[in-house]
Amino acid sequence: MPVSAVTECHVFPRNYRVYKAWRVGTRRAFFAGVMASLRQFQSALTKFRQLVSECRGSIRQPFDTPVDLTFRDGSGRITQGRARCLDISENGARISYYQPVVLPAVMQIRFESNGVVKMGHVRHCTPNGAQYEIGIQFLKPEELRNLASKPMFV
C-alpha cells in the first residue's frame, strides 16, 4: 500500500485540540460501553448462580426464628447452642451460628416458635461476616431409623 494512500485514509481535523477532544470522547465512550457490558455480564452471572443454587426439590421460605442446636461433629464432640434459622424448606434449612461446625456433622434443631424437632446432615458451613451460615439437609424417615440404632446424643 503506497504511503499516500495511508495518509489520505487518516484525515484528522486541522485543529489539534478538536482532534484530541474527539479521541478522548471516543475512548470514554468505548470504556463506558465496556463497563456496561461487564455490568450486564456480572448481572447475568449472578442470576445464573442463583438459578444453579436453587436447583432443589422444594422452595426455600424465609423463616427468621431462634432455634436450639445439638450436634456431634466429625471429631465426636457434642455441642449445644442457640442459633437463628434464616430460611427453611421441606428438605433443609439455613442456620446462622456464631462458630464454625466441623464436617461431617449431624445436627438436631428444635424450633423455639413451635417446638418442632428436626435432624439433618450439615452440608456446608460458610463464613458470613462474624457469623457462619450452616446448610442442613433434613434426614428422611428411613435415615432416622438407621441413625436411631446408633447412640448419638447420649
Same domain, 65 and 47: no
pLDDT (tens, 9 = 90+) of the chain, 154 residues, equals 454 444 444 555 566 666 666 677 777 777 777 777 888 888 877 777 766 665 666 778 888 899 999 998 767 778 899 999 999 988 899 999 999 998 888 899 999 888 889 999 999 999 999 999 999 999 988 877 776 666 555 4
Residue 95: which domain range? 61-148
Query: What total number of domains does the chain contain?
Result: 2
What is the C-alpha to C-alpha distance for residues 57 and 39, in angstroms, rounded to an integer?
Answer: 31
* Residue after which a domain boundary falls, among 36, 53, 70: 53
Kindly tell me the burial class for residue 111, based on how many C-beta atoms sit within 10 Å of its own C-beta (0-12, 13-18, 19 or more). Answer: middle
Residue 105 lies in a domain: yes
What is the C-alpha to C-alpha distance for residues 77 and 73, in angstroms, rounded to an integer?
Answer: 6
Residue 154 lies in a domain: no
Residue 153 lies in a domain: no
What is the C-alpha to C-alpha distance for residues 103 and 106, in angstroms, rounded to an integer?
Answer: 9
pTM above 0.75, yes or no: no
Please tell me what DSSP assigns to residue 10.
-
